[in-house]
Structure 1
Amino acid sequence: HRQYRHSAKLGRVTVACKPSDDIAPGTLNSIIKQAGLKGRN
C-alpha cells in the first residue's frame, strides 16, 4: 500500500497496489474522489 497526503488538505489517499500494476478504472475514480480532485472526462 502507498499513502499520499496533500500539503493543504486533510486526510490521506491509500492506494493498494505495486508501482508496476495497472489501476482499475473504478479504483482510479475512488482515488480521485478521495483526493478531492475532479475526475477525467
Structure 2
Amino acid sequence: MAGAEWKSLEECLEKHLPLPDLQEVKRVLYGKELRSLPFIDA
C-alpha cells in the first residue's frame, strides 16, 4: 500500500475485513457496540 492515502482507519478496516472480523476489531478498539439513538427533527 505504498503511496496509498487513507481517509480513516475505519474506512480501511471496513474495506479490507470481512464483517465478523470487522465487528471483533471494533469491539477490541472501541468496546461494546452501542445501539443507534433516534433523533427527532425540531
TM-score normalized by the length of structure 1: 0.34
Which has the greater radius of gyration? 2
TM-score normalized by the length of structure 2: 0.33
Answer 1 or 2: higher relative contact order, Cα 8 Å, separation at least 6. 1
* Higher fraction of helix: 2
